[in-house]
Amino acid sequence: MTFRQRREKLRAILAGASCIHPGSVYDAISIRIAEDLGFELGMFGGSVASLAILGDPDVALITLTELAEQMRRMSRASPLPVLVDADHGYGNALNVRRTVQELEAAGAAGLTIEDTLLPQAFGEAKTQLISIEEGVGKMRAALDGRSDPSLVILGRTGAASITSLDDAIRRAKAYEATGVDALFFTGLKAREELEAIAAATRLPIVLGGAPEQFSAIDYLASQRVRIALQGHAPFAAATQAVYDTLKALREGASPKQLKGLASAELTGRLTREKAMAARSRDFLGLERG
C-alpha cells in the first residue's frame, strides 16, 4: 500500500460519521500486532516515542530525526496508517515545516502540531502556550511543508486545561481558518466543553486523554469526534512483561518455567516468516529442509 493510500484511509476516517479508537504503536512489532488485530489506525504518541526510543520521560528530549526514523521503521513493517504526535514541531514555524517534510517522507499518514511552549521555560512549573499568532504561523508552515496534499495536518491545543475553554475555542477557530484538516484537543474534562467546541468549529475532532465520561463512542461520534485516543497501555504492558521475565530469570527461573511468552506461531506470524521463506525460495533458491 502506498503512502498516499494510507493517508487516504485516514482522511476517510475523518470524513466518516463514526468514531474509532486507534491502536497505540511504537515499533515494528507493535504496528504489526495492531494491523493483524484489525485496527484502522495506529497512533504514535510523543510520550511513548520518548519511552521507546530514549527510555526518557516526555520532556521534549527526543529529536525530529529520532522520531522520523522510528516512523520510517514502522512504515516499512506495516501498511497501517499512522497518526504521529509531532509535538511543537521541534522549534519555530520553520522547524515545523521541516518536521512535516521529514514525517511525510517517513510515511506518516498524518501528524499533529501543538501550541504548547516546548521545551518547558526556565523557572516555569506550569505548562505554557505560545501565542495564537505564533500558533497560526506554525499551522501555516505545516501546510506549506507538505508535498503530498493527502497528508493530514491536525492543529492541536491543550488550552482547555491550561488557560480556558474560551481560549481553546479561539485557538481552534484560528487554526481551522488556516486550512488544517482536523482539530486535536487535550485536557477536556466535561461533555459541556466538548459540546461547546463542536458547536463553535466545523472540522473533524480528535480527542486525546479524555476522561471516562467520554467513553461512549456513539456520543463522541455525535459531537464530530472521529478519533478518540485511549492512552498507551500496550507499551506499559510490554514494559511489565519484560520486567517480570527478566526478574524471574535473574532470580533463577528456568526459561521453560516462564509464563506468558509469545508462541512460535505468533512470533512467526508477526515476523512474516512465511513471506520471508517464500522470498528466500524465489530469490535465493533456498528450500527448507
Domains, the chain, in order of start with CATH, read 3-232 (3.20.20.60), 238-284 (no CATH)
CA 90, CA 73: separation in Å to the nearest integer?
20
Confidence class for position 245, pLDDT limits 50, 70, 90 = very high
**How does pLDDT run across 141-176, given as a tens digit for each residue?**
999 999 999 999 999 999 999 999 999 999 999 999
pTM across the whole model: 0.96
Task: Answer yes or no: is pLDDT of 47 > 90.
Answer: yes
pLDDT at position 275, please? 95
The residue that leads in pLDDT, 287 or 229, is: 229
Mean pLDDT of 105-115: 98
Mean pLDDT of 11-19: 98
Residue 64: CB atoms within 10 A of its CB come to 18
Contacting residues for 240 by C-beta, under 8 A, at least 6 apart:
none
Q: What share of the chain has pLDDT > 70, as a percent?
A: 99
pLDDT at position 270, please? 97
Note the Cα 206 to chain centre separation in Å.
Answer: 11
Task: Answer yes or no: is pLDDT of 212 > 90.
Answer: no
Confidence class for position 215, pLDDT limits 50, 70, 90 = confident
Q: Are 82 and 25 in contact (CB under 8 A)?
A: yes
Mean pLDDT of 112-137: 95
Confidence class for position 288, pLDDT limits 50, 70, 90 = low
Mean model confidence pLDDT for the chain = 96
Confidence class for position 211, pLDDT limits 50, 70, 90 = confident
CA 6, CA 47: separation in Å to the nearest integer?
23
Mean pLDDT of 278-288: 91
**How does pLDDT run across 167-190, given as a tens digit for each residue?**
999 999 999 999 999 999 999 999
Confidence class for position 209, pLDDT limits 50, 70, 90 = confident
C-alpha cell of residue 199: 458547536
